[in-house]
Amino acid sequence: MTETLEKPYTGLYKATSLSDLFNRDHFAPANVIELPRQLNGDFNGLARKLSAVLSLPADASHEIERTLFRKLLRRVEHELSPDEMLAATHIDNDLRNIGGKLATVNLRINTGDAYANHDSGAAFRFHVDGSARLLCNYNEPAAQWLEIGDEEPDAEMMEQYGYAEYFAPKPGAEIHTLHTGHIYHFLGLMNTMDAPPFVHRGMQSGPDDPPRLLLVAEYQQEPSF
């Protein structure tokens, strides 16, 4: 999905390289760094074949690291089209390049309502993460996000579950969508020295949609950009 901010916005910084994404001295005034990329390939087809070889149920969320990803590719490579293999190559490169900088880097495969067992539907509500995170949505529907100051406390989540890290858009707030293929590096609750945490939510796939493929990398401690 292609989306362009209609007005200047200082809460998002656009990196020029993977090194720039990792080595920012500080975020402020931004709370998210975006590395724009154009990835070619059939990520939907690849998602369906990975889900099939893993025998994932209709509503599941499964994470795999690079070693397992490469083993799975060897099992299905004879079934992959050239475009699906191209998509797999992009993912493998990301797992390698980002895995060399962060300890926890996985490919997440979500099918249908991947969080069906969560009564609160928390993953599909606007929220902030506990720690800084890297995220790449390889196919749609991609996650959505709010600009700094466009959120207000989610009264329902607070009343029913006591969750203070969930939010709702303020009246008139514009809801943005992350670009597929781009890498985002955003702040969590523990990394807010100079900017507030990044408010975002996951998107639910329909029953006939392909599984969602996401690269997820988490910092276990405050990063030193």
Using a pLDDT cut of 90, give the percent of the chain over it. Answer: 58
* pLDDT for residue 223 is more than 60: no
| Domain of 73, in residue numbers | 12-218
- What's residue 206's pLDDT? 77
In a domain, residue 171? The reply is: yes
Contact between 62 and 43 (Cβ < 8 Å): no
- What's residue 124's pLDDT? 83
27-37 pLDDT per residue, tens: 778 999 999 99
Mean pLDDT across the chain: 86
pLDDT band at 54 (very low <50, low <70, confident <90, very high): very high
pLDDT band at 99 (very low <50, low <70, confident <90, very high): confident
Range with the largest mean pLDDT of 10-14, 188-192, 205-209: 10-14
* pLDDT for residue 16 is more than 50: yes
In a domain, residue 4? The reply is: no
In a domain, residue 118? The reply is: yes
Q: Tokens 């790449």 sit at which residue?
A: 136
In a domain, residue 119? The reply is: yes
In a domain, residue 7? The reply is: no
- What's residue 183's pLDDT? 97
* pLDDT for residue 205 is more than 90: no
With CA atoms as reference, report the closest residue to 10 among 136, 105, 149. 149
CB half-sphere exposure, 147, CA atoms < 13 A: 14
CB half-sphere exposure, 58, CA atoms < 13 A: 4
Domains: count for the chain: 1
In a domain, residue 224? The reply is: no
In a domain, residue 1? The reply is: no
CB atoms within 10 A of CB 36: 11
Q: Is residue 73 packed enough to be buried (19+ CB in 10 Å), middle (13-18) or exposed (0-12)?
A: buried
Q: Which whole number is the average pLDDT over 94-108?
A: 87
In a domain, residue 121? The reply is: yes
Q: Which whole number is the average pLDDT over 179-203?
A: 88
Q: In whole angstroms, what is the distance from residue 106 CA to residue 116 CA? A: 21
- What's residue 213's pLDDT? 96
- What's residue 112's pLDDT? 75
